[in-house]
Each structure stands twice: as structure tokens, then as C-alpha cells.
């Protein structure tokens, strides 16, 4: 999400498609124009990046705008979608798995849940635009 040719409609369509799949977690990342890559050259040609410019932002915040959306508008789409049913499904899977495969009594599930919650606390998401 956040390629130069992405529009509000294409991003909203992508998010709607991801929600239709009903995944446990949906997370979107932004592309980064690494120096010397075709993507960097395209960004320069489109005027989204100055020659020699190396963006300081990375995957959690847009390094470039699109031809129709600002970096701030793109940042408003950054989401981690986690529905309440997610933990219930994962917990059921952990309990139904044979011992040793996922750990007894869902130990790995609890550990993964804590890791996920801690990573969310550490991340700083830009405020959503109104």
C-alpha cells in the first residue's frame, strides 16, 4: 500500500478485500525507495522524491506520497486490524492441537499474545486524519 499509482479508491478496495478474507490480523506496510532501485528512479521521475534524497521514514510510515495522496493521508490508512474473535479462534486452535505441537495449555498462544500486545504498545502510529 502506498505505491506511486495508488489512489484512495485502490487503497480502500485493498482494505475491503483484506477484510473479506476474514484474517486474524491484517497489517499493511509502505514501500521504501531504496537507493539504486528501479522504484527509486520511478519516484524521482514522478517528482515524489528529489534526486539523492533518502527518506528517513520506513515501513511503519510512508517514505513517499503517491501521485494523488499525501504522506499524511496514507498514514491514516495504517492499521492493524485485530477483532475480538481473533484471540478466541487462536485460543481454540492452541487447545485443540496435540501436546508438543503448539505447547500444552496454549502456552505459546499466551506468549504470542503478550508479544503482540507489547509490540503494539511500542509502535507509534501517526494520528488518523479526520
Q: Write out pLDDT tens, residues 47-90.
A: 999 999 988 877 678 999 999 999 989 888 875 444 556 556 66
| Predicted pLDDT at 51 | 92
**62 exposure class (CB count in 10 Å sphere: 0-12, 13-18, 19+):** buried
Distance, CA of 17 to CA of 93 (rounded, Å): 25
| Predicted pLDDT at 126 | 47
Do you know the residue count of the chain?
Answer: 130
Q: Write out pLDDT tens, residues 41-51.
A: 999 999 999 99
pTM above 0.85, yes or no: no
Contact assessment for residue 19 and residue 85, using Cβ atoms and an 8 Å cutoff:
no
Q: pLDDT-based confidence at 99, cuts 50/70/90?
A: low
In the predicted structure, residue 95 carries a pLDDT above the cut 60: no
Contact assessment for residue 125 and residue 78, using Cβ atoms and an 8 Å cutoff:
yes
Q: Cβ–Cβ contacts within 10 Å for residue 78, how many? A: 20
Contact assessment for residue 32 and residue 58, using Cβ atoms and an 8 Å cutoff:
yes
Distance, CA of 32 to CA of 50 (rounded, Å): 14
Amino acid at each position: 500500500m502506498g505505491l506511486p499509482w495508488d489512489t484512495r479508491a485502490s487503497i480502500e478496495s485493498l482494505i475491503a478485500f483484506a477484510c473479506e478474507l476474514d484474517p486474524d490480523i491484517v497489517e499493511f506496510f509502505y514501500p521504501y525507495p531504496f537507493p539504486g532501485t528501479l522504484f527509486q528512479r520511478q519516484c524521482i521521475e514522478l517528482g515524489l522524491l528529489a534526486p539523492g534524497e533518502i527518506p528517513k521514514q520506513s515501513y511503519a510510515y510512508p517514505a513517499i506520497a503517491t501521485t494523488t495522496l499525501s504522506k499524511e493521508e496514507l498514514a491514516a490508512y495504517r492499521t492493524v486490524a485485530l477483532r475480538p474473535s481473533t484471540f478466541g479462534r487462536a485460543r481454540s486452535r492452541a487447545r485443540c492441537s496435540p501436546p508438543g505441537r503448539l505447547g500444552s495449555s496454549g502456552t505459546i498462544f499466551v506468549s504470542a499474545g503478550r508479544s503482540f500486545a507489547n509490540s503494539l504498545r511500542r509502535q507509534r502510529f501517526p494520528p488518523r486524519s479526520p
